[in-house]
Amino acid sequence: MATMNRRIVLASRPHGEPTPAHFRLEETRVPSLGAGEILLRTRWLSLDPYMRGRMSASKSYAAPVGIGEPMTGGTVSEVVQSGHPEFPVGTLVQAFGGWQDFSVSDGKGLRTVDPGRAPPTTALGILGMPGMTAYTGLLNIGAPKPGETVVVAAAAGPVGSLVGQIAKLKGARAVGIAGGPEKCAYLTRELGFDAAVDHRSDDLPGALAAACPAGIDVYFENVGGAVFDAVLPLLNDFARMPVCGLVAGYNATELPPGPDRSPNLMRAVLTKRLRIQGFIVWDFASQIDAFERDVGGWLRDGAVRYREDVVEGLENAPEAFIGLLKGRNFGKLIVHVS
Ligand code: NDP
C-alpha cells in the first residue's frame, strides 16, 4: 500500500477570486491508526460552492479551514484498513475525507455506499448532500402547488437541476436560469424544464418575464445578484423563496454599487406578503430517510436524471474549484482521486 498521502491545503486566504496560489499540494506520511479507527482511501472528492466560505475567516455557520490544513470536502472513500467492526476493508463509504488521498475516521458520520444501488458518485450528487438540499429546501420552504411557477438558477448544477425536476413531479411549471445556450438546451430537452433563460443574455429581466407569463410563485435562490434583481419584480403575492445559496457573491469584496435597494425589497416583502427563509441542508437532517426513499425511487424509475462533470486527478482540484464559481462546470463537479 502507498505510504505517502498527497493533500491539498489552504495556503492563504483569498480576497476576491481564489487562484491556484491559495492552495498547496503537499505530501505527508499516511497516518497510522489508533484503536477502533478506519483508514479511508479517497476514490472521489466532491467540489462544492460552500468551500469558498471555508477559505474565508469571516464568521459563518461552519468553522473556516485553518491555514496549512487540508481543504474539507465530502468524499466517496474505500476502507483500506479497519479496526471498526461495522466497516470492514473494501467497504465504500460516504465520508468527509477532504482534499487528500487518505483520511482517518472513527466511524462517526460514515454512511455505507452500496454500488449495486446506484453509481457510487451519486452519493456526492443527486443521492447526497446537493440532492438532499434540493429536496428539503423545495418541499419544506418552497412548497410548490400544481400549476404554480417555480424558478431556479444555477439550474444545470446538482441542486438546481433536481429542484426543477421535483417541481415538475409536483405538477408545477419549472423555469431554469443557467449560463449559456448549451446548459439551457439541456434543461428543456433532457430534464423536462418548461423554459430556460440564459443569465448572460442582453436582457435577462425581459427574457425571464417572457418565460414566466403568470409570474413566479416559488423562487429557489441559489445565486443572488443580477438574477435576483430580475426575479423580484415578477414574484406573485404569497410567493415563497428558499434561500439556499448566493454564489454570484461568494468572491465579492464589497457591496454592489448603489442606490441601496433594500427598501424596495422590504416593500415587496410587505406588499406581496413574501416568505423568505434561509436554510442549511442539515436543518432537515431528520428527513434523510424520506429523501433517500423518494429521490432514490425517482432515480430508479427514470423520473429524475443527473449529470456529472468528473475531473481526473487530485492535483487538478484547485483549478476545477475556481472554475465552479464561474460556471465552468456542467453538472455535479467531482474529482476522481483514485
Ligand atoms: P453548481 O454546480 O450549480 O455550481 C454553481 C453554479 O453557479 C455555476 O455552475 C454557475 O452556473 C452558477 N453561477 C456562478 N456564478 C453565477 C452568477 N454570477 N450568476 C448566475 N449563476 C452563477 O452548484 P451546486 O448545485 O452545488 O450549488 C448551487 C447553490 O446551492 C450554491 O449557491 C451553493 O452554495 C448552494 N448550496 C447550499 C446548501 C445549503 O445547505 N444551503 C447546500 C448545497 C449547496 P451557470 O453556468 O449556470 O452560471
Query: Which is it for the CA torsion 210, 157, 201, 204, positive or negative?
Result: positive
Q: Name the residue among 270, 188, 276 with its Cα closest to residue 231.
A: 276
Give dist(CA 43, CA 196) in Å, integer.
34
Nearest CA to ligand 1 atom 26: 48
Cell numbers 481564489 correspond to 18
How many CB atoms are located within 10 Å of the residue 277 CB? 14
3-state secondary structure of 42: strand
Give distance in angstroms: CA of 332 to centre of ligand 1: 10
Q: Which secondary structure element, helix H or strand E, spans residue 29, and what is its range?
A: strand 23-29
Hey, which of 159, 187, 335 would you mutate to test ligand 1's pocket, going by the most ligand atoms within 8 Å of its Cβ?
159
Residue type, 252: A
Residue with cell 476545477: 320
179 lines ligand 1 (CB under 6 A): yes
Question: In this structure, which residue's CA is closest to atom 47 in ligand 1?
Answer: 178
Nearest CA to ligand 1 atom 13: 327
Handedness of CA 110, 116, 120, 126 (dihedral sign): negative
Kindly report the protein residue whose alpha carbon is nearest to atom 33 of ligand 1: 245
Residue 191 Cα to ligand 1 middle (Å):
18
Residue 135 CB contacts under 8 Å (≥ 6 apart), including other chains: 162, 166, 287, 291, 294, 295
**Residues of CATH 3.90.180.10 domain(s) within the chain?**
4-125+306-336
Residue 162, C-alpha cell as written in the block: 433536481
CA of 157, closest atom in ligand 1? 3
Cα(153) to centroid of ligand 1, in Å? 8
Chain position carrying cell 432515480? 299
Q: What is the pLDDT of residue 3?
A: 86
Dmax over CA atoms of the chain, in Å, equals 65
Q: Quick one: pLDDT at residue 183?
A: 98
So what's the architecture of 4-125+306-336 in CATH? Alpha-Beta Complex (3.90)
Taking Cα atoms as reference points, which of 146, 187, 141 lies closest to residue 165?
A: 187
How many angstroms separate the alpha carbon of residue 100 from the centre of ligand 1?
24
| pLDDT, position 205 | 98
Cα(157) to ligand 1 centroid in Å equals: 7
The response to whether residue 22 sits with its C-beta less than 6 Å from ligand 1 reads no
List, by residue range, all CATH 3.40.50.720 domains of the chain.
129-282
Q: Report which protein residue has its CA nearest ligand 1's atom 17.
A: 248
Give the closest residue (by CA) to ligand 1 atom 27.
Answer: 159
- Determine the residue type at 262: S
Q: Measured in angstroms, how far is the CA atom of residue 287 from the centroid of ligand 1?
A: 23
CB 48 less than 6 A from any atom of ligand 1? yes
Measure 279 CA to ligand 1 centroid, in angstroms: 15
Class of residue 302 by CB neighbours under 10 A (exposed 0-12, middle 13-18, buried 19+): exposed
Which helix (H) or strand (E) segment holds residue 176: the answer is strand 173-178
> What local confidence, expressed as pLDDT, does residue 59 receive?
86
Query: Cβ distance 225 to 245 under 8 Å?
Result: no
Nearest to 47 by CA among 325, 338, 334: 334
Ligand 1 centre and the CA of 49: distance in Å?
6
User: Does residue 128 line the site of ligand 1, with CB under 6 A?
Assistant: no
- One pLDDT digit (tens) per residue for the chain, 338 residues: 788 999 999 999 999 999 999 999 999 999 999 999 999 999 999 999 999 999 999 888 889 999 999 999 999 999 999 999 999 999 999 999 999 999 999 999 999 999 999 999 999 999 999 999 999 999 999 999 999 999 999 999 999 999 999 999 999 999 999 999 999 999 999 999 999 999 999 999 999 999 999 999 999 999 999 999 999 999 999 999 999 999 999 999 999 888 999 999 999 999 999 999 999 999 999 999 999 999 999 999 999 999 999 999 999 999 999 999 999 999 999 999 99
Q: Reduced to 3 states, what is the DSSP secondary structure of residue 142?
A: helix
pTM confidence score: 0.97
- Which atom of ligand 1 has the smallest separation from the CA of 177? 47
Q: Can you list the positions of beta strands (E) in 180-316?
A: 195-198, 216-220, 235-243, 275-278, 308-312
What grid cell was written down for 109? 458520520
283 to 136, 207, 265, 279, 308: CA distances (angstroms): 9, 34, 26, 7, 26
Q: Which three cell numbers stand for residue 124?
A: 456526492
Supply the CATH classification number for the domain 129-282: 3.40.50.720
Strand partners, 76: 44, 94
Q: Which grid cell sits at 30? A: 499516511
Q: What's the gap in Å between 192 CA and the centre of ligand 1? A: 20
Instruction: Write down the number of H helices and E strands in the chain.
Output: 9, 15
